[in-house]
Amino acid sequence: MLRKKNIKIAIVEDNVYENKSLTKYVSTICNQDIYKDFSFDIASYTTAHDCIEELDDDLSILLLDYYLFNPHEVETLNGSDVLDQVKKHCKECKVIVQSEMTNAQTVKQLMQDGIHAYVDKNVSSMNRIGAVIQDLLK
């Protein structure tokens, strides 16, 4: 019997509604009836600190909001801060940044820093995230 490859996915989104919607959407995409060779473990976080504290070395995919705000944190971290920690702990992790960012220089820097994809946050962003995840599972 073949062992299923475990795909660990983490979602970091500070907006609770967006976080729940994205988590539900990713859970729907990562359907074990369709991807029979994989098992999926999906975790979601509303703060950068929570994500960093629980980083697994074998994290497969990280969906990361760039602007992360938490009024309860002393130090506010952004997507670049999380990306730095992911690169140290999860060498094989594919990072998809999703944001409403308008700074092209920051997006360019994220690409140079090794993110797999950048997706603008808008009404069709979930469809594009779904396409990127499905491509990674091929």
> What residues contact 55, with CB distance under 8 A and at least 6 apart?
10, 85, 86, 89, 90
Determine whether domain 5-136 maps to CATH 3.40.50.2300: yes
Q: pLDDT tens per residue, the chain (138 residues)?
A: 567 889 999 999 998 999 999 999 999 999 888 888 999 999 999 998 899 999 888 999 999 999 887 767 667 788 888 999 999 988 899 999 998 877 889 889 999 999 999 998 876 777 888 888 888 988
| Domain definitions of the chain by residue range | 5-136
Instruction: Give yes or no for a contact between 111 and 80, defined as CB atoms under 8 angstroms apart.
Output: no
Q: What is the pLDDT of residue 28?
A: 93
Judged by phi (left if over 0) then psi (alpha if -120 to 50, else beta), residue 37 lies in alpha
**For 127, which DSSP code?**
H
pLDDT of residue 3: 76
Residues 6+ away with beta carbon under 8 Å from 122: 100
